[in-house]
Amino acid sequence: MNGGYMGVARQNGGYGYSYRSYIERQSRRYPVMIYTLVQCVPCNRAKHLLATTYPDVPSHYLELVGVEDWQRQLQADLHQMTGQVTFPYIFVCGDFIGGASNLFEMHKSGQLRQVLNNCMPRQ
């Protein structure tokens, strides 16, 4: 891809660019990809769960302040792609799972470890 910030190539309405392809690439690149906000309690709880319970899982976080146009557009694209309006936006193995409560539900049921084991390369 060519073009603007973070590999964004096509323009749309809103703030001028679509981050959809960037979001899709990042969600496939890492077993866990989380889009968070600064000082977001559910975001911090989700990151803490992953850091303490799943230290073997490569996770990536993009923390937004939300004051720059590109961040507002990224948030708008996350909302459009997922239908969710609140942070965090959590992708596991390329699939959007929801927010922090969904992550904790998957963890408590054992489903999170199972999904992660199925998508992570064997060591």
Number of domains in the chain: 1
**pLDDT higher than threshold 90 for residue 121:** no
- Domain hosting residue 83, numbered range: 12-118
Query: What's the count of helices (H) and strands (E) in the chain, helices before strands?
Result: 5, 4
Q: Write down the pTM of the prediction.
A: 0.84
Per the structure block, which two tokens stand in for 4? 């603007």
CATH number for the domain that contains residue 99: 3.40.30.10
Per the structure block, which two tokens stand in for 15? 């703030």
Q: What is the CA radius of gyration of the chain?
A: 15
**pLDDT higher than threshold 50 for residue 115:** yes
pLDDT tens-digit map of 75-112: 999 999 999 999 999 999 999 999 999 999 999 999 99
Least confident of 11-15, 34-38, 52-56, 91-95: 11-15
pLDDT tens-digit map of 22-43: 999 999 999 999 999 999 999 9
